[in-house]
């Protein structure tokens, strides 16, 4: 009986370790692109309606509000697909996506969105970013 109990405990411990490992799985580049695209849709930045699930709405760093009026101000401000995605940025081992603002004043202006390596923590950068500066070149 003790052997069966020990085996059951070991089984459940291994099951728990496996589920933790799966939740910590790093994303592929294709999965990263899909997460970024879904983020801008869910948070109301595209021409599509924002998510009805309020838990998907992320506060912006400047205003910090997720009420309907604040999310409505985001409407149709970014393209649906990122211009570029690459590793790095503000989150160690994470990703950064470069989105083109719909009403940009300068050709090289982009909006950055950051994501951790696992696709759980995402946020938008509200500082004006010139693509050339981000890549270490002077703006034209």
Residue 139 has pLDDT above 80, yes or no: no
The answer to whether the CB of 66 falls within 8 A of the CB of 54 is: yes
Higher pLDDT, 116 or 103: 116
Of the candidates 137, 138, 139, 136, the residue with the CA atom closest to the CA atom of residue 105: 139
- Bridge partner list, 54: none
Predicted confidence band of residue 112 (pLDDT cuts 50, 70, 90): very high
Q: Across residues 33-49, what is the average pLDDT?
A: 97
Give the pLDDT band (50/70/90) at residue 18. Answer: very low
**Per-residue confidence band for 3, with pLDDT thresholds at 50, 70 and 90:** low
Residue 7 phi/psi, 5° resolution?
-65, -40
Q: pLDDT tens, 49-62?
A: 999 999 999 998 88
pLDDT at position 22, please?
44
Does residue 34 carry a pLDDT above 50? yes
- For position 98, what pLDDT does the model report? 95
Torsion of CA 121, 127, 130, 132, to 10 degrees: -60
Q: Taking a C-beta distance cutoff of 8 angstroms, is the pair 97, 84 a contact?
A: yes
What tokens appear for 127 in the block?
A: 């500082």
Tokens of 63: 């205003």
Segments making up each domain of the chain, as ranges: 26-134
DSSP state of 55: G
Locate tokens 């939740």: which residue?
Answer: 23
User: Contact, 36 vs 115, CB < 8 A?
Assistant: yes
């Amino acid at each position: 009986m003790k052997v069966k109990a020990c085996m059951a405990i070991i089984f459940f411990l291994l099951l728990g370790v496996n589920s933790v490992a799966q939740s910590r799985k790093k994303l592929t580049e294709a999965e990263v692109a899909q997460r970024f695209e879904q983020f801008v849709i869910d948070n109301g930045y595209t021409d599509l309606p924002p998510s009805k699930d309020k838990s998907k709405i992320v506060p912006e760093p400047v205003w910090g509000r997720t009420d309907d009026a604040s999310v409505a101000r985001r409407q149709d401000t970014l393209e649906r697909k990122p211009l570029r995605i690459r590793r790095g940025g503000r989150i160690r081992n994470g990703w950064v996506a470069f989105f083109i603002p719909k009403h940009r004043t300068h050709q090289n202006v982009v909006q950055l969105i950051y994501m951790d390596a696992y696709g759980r923590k995402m946020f938008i950068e509200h500082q004006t970013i010139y693509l050339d500066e981000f890549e270490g070149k002077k703006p034209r």
